[in-house]
A and B are shown apart, each in its own frame.
Chain A
Amino acid sequence: MKKYDLIIVGAGMSGLRAAIEAVKQDLHVAVISKVHPLRSSSVVASAGLNAVLPKRDQNKIDQDSIEQHFQDTMKCGYRASDPETLQILVNKAPAKIRELERWGCLFSREKDDSIAQRKIGASSFPRTVYSSDKTGHVVMNTLYEQCIRLRQNKPDLLRFYDEWFVQKLLVHNNVTSGVIALEIATGRMEVFTSRAVIWASGGSGRIFGNTSNPLANSGWGLAVPMYAGAALRDMEFIQFHPTQLSGSHILITEAARGEGAVLLNRKGQRFLESYSDTKERKELSSEDVISRNIRREILAGRGIEANCVHLDLRGLGSRKIKNSLPGVRELCKTYANLDPIRQKIPVSPGQHYMIGGINTNEKTQTDIEGFFAAGECACNGVHGMNRMGGNSLMETLVFGEIAALKAATYIQQKHHKPSNRLFYENAFSDEKKKVKSLLKSHGKVKPAEIRDKMNQTMNEFVGIYRDGMGLVEAGKIIKELKNTYQNNLMIQGNEARANFGLIEAIELKGSLDIADIIIQSALKRKESIGVHFRNDFPSYKGRPRYSMIKVKKNKIKIRHISIRTQKNPLFALFSESRSQNS
């Protein structure tokens, strides 16, 4: 048994930011991650982080403001963002940029040395801080560097467990007491006891086939807390990014459109102009309407061969592409064998971001004591029903830090009665048995076969456009797949050591369970709002409600709850934060 004050699961941006804060709070911290921190999904994030920064020209009347960041996000999210959570995000964002700046982050800069900002998606001002189109990579390096610095200064406080796979979240009488994890290289299992756990496992896009997400994002990250009793929220809200490279689903960042790239149909027309909801802002409309209109264009027969349209960067000119979008050019050359300086890029929409996740409040608290969640795996309501580009990277930093602070307070204040040894021993032997019995699965169906069928089903029935009949069908297929998994699974290899096939098979159970929850949530919401569009219920009536999902004894229970309205007078809060920042 290994003993810590705090365990952080996941070492992407949320996890690393939480780790930095936790060590500053003098907590004894373990960061457990399935992949090395610098291999996390966050490194792939391209476009940037939204923050309102003071400009040199203070006298200019028409300039960005924190209020405007709030309003843009609200508008993009169909006024369904949780106002208090969103206030925290927009208020803290500028300080997070200054902090990264202090840590040496290599942001792109203007000629006057100020931090460069660009306009992406639904922002009304250039607000997105970036590093060419490799922002995630650059920010992750900075965060990891700070972790190394802290570890070299305080070696006893911070320990990384790289390539350890978390199997179970331990909860005793609704109080968090640690995790059980497996070291992938050796197959060794270990109990980690702790007084609090911060969950930062990231996205779950691999439940879908047409996703831009890395392989690690299997859905297991949501399944483990769900098995431990955590409530999920808004699982039907899945963002489909409009421009993924056709075939490989590699994402072509919205920064491309921000810099001036246009979308063209087969006839070479800028078709977004012909739809009422994208007529005005065209390529800078929010992602949900662009994705829907691309699908419409393809369904109307004006797409290009393999279900795609063209993204045209040629108008930007060679220099702008080389300076601002070098990553896009590299990806196109490697994976589509074309150069966007001279050629159009075939793109289609695909799964990109989970707006839903583990239900948390604005303090990252869940309904399990001592269990906190931040980043894409969490749903604190900040994105409403459609995420605005550039807000999610900022969310990881703001709420990663808050999670560590809240965990620290919880650890210090709470009188902790340690779980008894028997509880740990029983949980441990249960997990060991599970792995053992899985290794004896000598059925006929390989995990990949089940996964591929799940991927196809989600693509086909739970995509940009959904309807009741399709969702019911999808539910049936997933149920059959769960049955096959239970009764006819084939696992190769006879031990857990360096057995990636086994790990993938364990995760597949979680993927299937989360897929089921997504389908049931989509079925339950008989309206179209934000990224959730039902062909059989195309309108939206009434006030925004969020979905609260609880799973008890394998039964999924979903309730719709009205979103809280603004309690506090907004501007009072804004002015307060301003005086703090200045």
Chain B
Amino acid sequence: MKEKTYKLAVFRFDPLVDTKQRFKNYSVPRSKTKTVLDALLYIRDNIDGTLAFRASCIQGRCGSCAMHINGKYALACETPLKATRNVIRPLSQLPIIKDLMVDMELFWEKYESVKPYLVRHSGEARQSFENRKEMDAMIDCILCGACTSACMITGINPDFHGPAAYVTLNRFLKDERDAIHDQRIELVMSENGVFRCHSMYNCNEACPKNVKPSENILEIKKNIS
């Protein structure tokens, strides 16, 4: 009896060798794969060892395997394969290193540009229960890059910080222990700053952890005005 399979079309491109980007079709056995990452690992193990993609924790916590799956940004390790054809592409707006592996350098630069660390007032005030509670919603960001990839403004304007960096910024703006609130605001007041966001909610839709970057950006805007 023929084994039941899932069908995948996987983006393949090696910028140093290929002139054209292409999709390659694969079939993987249903008995051995449940998620998109299972399928990609199966392909690398058994069909083509040169397929390039990142993966680590396989449980939706490390953020390595964010990609564009069947029309949506998602973590491959969390996304079940569907019975019809699965189309897998890399994150967009970042240079492709090979296949599904993109260069995240720019993403991390933007994250670092918002001073992602607490600068304390002198003396050691502890965080209040209420203040900590307010952060529950944003604590889950794993910096996978899905939101920034989905963001249209990031696409048009490479200097825009992007939703992930703003979630990080908002986390520190909200922290009652932070001493450089005004400096942080100034960082994002420029013409490429937070007001560039037109609230299209693409980032909310893309976020696999339900962090709601749009809401965070709205909070920053309110904080300024």
Contacts and interface: CB of A to CB of B under 8 A. Distances in A.
- Of the listed residues B63, B117, B120, B127, the one surrounded by the most CB atoms of chain A closer than 10 A to its CB is B117
B59 interface: yes
B104 A331 contact: no
Interface in A432-461: 446-448
A40 B48 CA distance: 26
A228 interface: no
Interface string A207-240: 0000000111000000000000000000000000
Given A106-B135, A113-B127, A145-B116, A38 B49 contact: no
Contacts of B118: 103-104, 145
Interface stretch (A355-363, A389-397, A490-498): A490-498
Interface residues of A, number: 55
Contact of A44 (B62, B103, B117, B140): B62
Given A38-B142, A185-B101, A498-B101, A334 B60 contact: yes
Interface stretch (A131-139, A167-175, A406-414): A131-139
Given A104-B175, A501-B49, A109 B127 contact: yes
A214 B120 contact: no
Given A108-B132, A137-B142, A215-B55, A446 B61 contact: no
B111 to A, nearest CB: 8
B143 A38 contact: yes
Contacts of A132: 136, 139
A43 B139 contact: no
Contact of B120 (A104, A145, A501): A104
Interface in B165-215: 172, 175, 177-178
Interface string B38-82: 000000111011111111111111111000000000000010000
A491 to B, nearest CB: 7
B60 to A, nearest CB: 6
A3 B97 CA distance: 27
A526 interface: no
Contacts of A248: 58-59
Interface in A108-128: 108-115
A448 B61 contact: no
Contacts, number: 140
A113 B216 CA distance: 25
B117 A145 contact: yes
Contact of B115 (A131, A152, A250): A152
B179 to A, nearest CB: 11
B140 A134 contact: yes
A149 B114 CA distance: 11
A501 B97 CA distance: 16
Contacts of B97: 185, 498
Contacts of A446: 45-46, 49
B163 to A, nearest CB: 17
A101 B98 CA distance: 40
A250 B59 contact: yes
Nearest to A131: B139
B126 interface: yes
A327 B142 CA distance: 13
Contacts of A106: 127, 132, 135, 139
Contacts of B139: 106, 131-132, 134, 137-138
B112 interface: yes
A40 B117 CA distance: 19
Contacts of A448: 44-46
A102 B124 contact: yes
A39 interface: yes
A214 B177 contact: no
Interface in B99-138: 99, 101, 103-104, 108, 112, 115-118, 120, 124, 126-129, 132, 135-136
Given A35-B56, A39-B62, A104-B177, A501 B50 contact: yes
Interface residues of B, number: 52
Interface string A317-334: 000000000010011001
A137 B57 CA distance: 12
B61 A44 contact: yes
Given A109-B129, A113-B128, A498-B97, A215 B58 contact: yes
Given A38-B63, A185-B103, A498-B52, A102 B112 contact: no
Contact of A148 (B54, B78, B117, B132): B117
B64 A39 contact: yes
A36 interface: yes
A548 B14 CA distance: 47
Contacts of A39: 54, 56-57, 62-64
A331 B60 contact: yes
Contacts of A44: 57, 59, 61-62
A419 interface: no
A36 B117 contact: no
B50 A152 contact: no
B112 A148 contact: yes
- Of the listed residues B56, B101, B135, the one surrounded by the most CB atoms of chain A closer than 10 A to its CB is B56
A323 to B, nearest CB: 9
Given A148-B112, A216-B56, A446-B45, A499 B117 contact: no
B146 to A, nearest CB: 14
Contact of A36 (B104, B129, B136, B177): B104
B50 A109 contact: no
B56 A215 contact: yes
Nearest to B136: A132
A492 B48 contact: yes
Interface in A141-189: 145-146, 148-149, 152, 185
A528 B72 CA distance: 52
Nearest to A490: B49
Interface string A487-514: 0000111000111111000000000000
Contacts of B45: 446-448
A39 B51 CA distance: 20
Nearest to A499: B50
Given A38-B142, A498-B52, A137 B61 contact: yes
Contact of B129 (A110, A138, A152, A250): A110
Given A109-B127, A145-B117, A214 B58 contact: yes
Contacts of B60: 330-331, 334
Contacts of A335: 59
Interface of B: 14, 16, 44-46, 48-64, 78, 97-99, 101, 103-104, 108, 112, 115-118, 120, 124, 126-129, 132, 135-136, 139-140, 142-143, 172, 175, 177-178
Given A38-B62, A500-B52, 10 more contacts: A35-B62, A39-B63, A43-B62, A104-B172, A104-B175, A113-B129, A134-B139, A145-B118, A492-B49, A498-B14
7 contacts: A101-B126, A103-B117, A138-B139, A185-B97, A215-B56, A492-B49, A498-B97
Interface of A: 35-36, 38-41, 43-44, 101-104, 106-115, 131-132, 134, 137-138, 145-146, 148-149, 152, 185, 214-216, 248, 250, 327, 330-331, 334-335, 446-448, 491-493, 497-502
Q: Which 8 A-B pairs have the closest CB atoms?
A: A501-B49, A104-B118, A448-B45, A492-B49, A145-B117, A493-B50, A498-B98, A149-B117
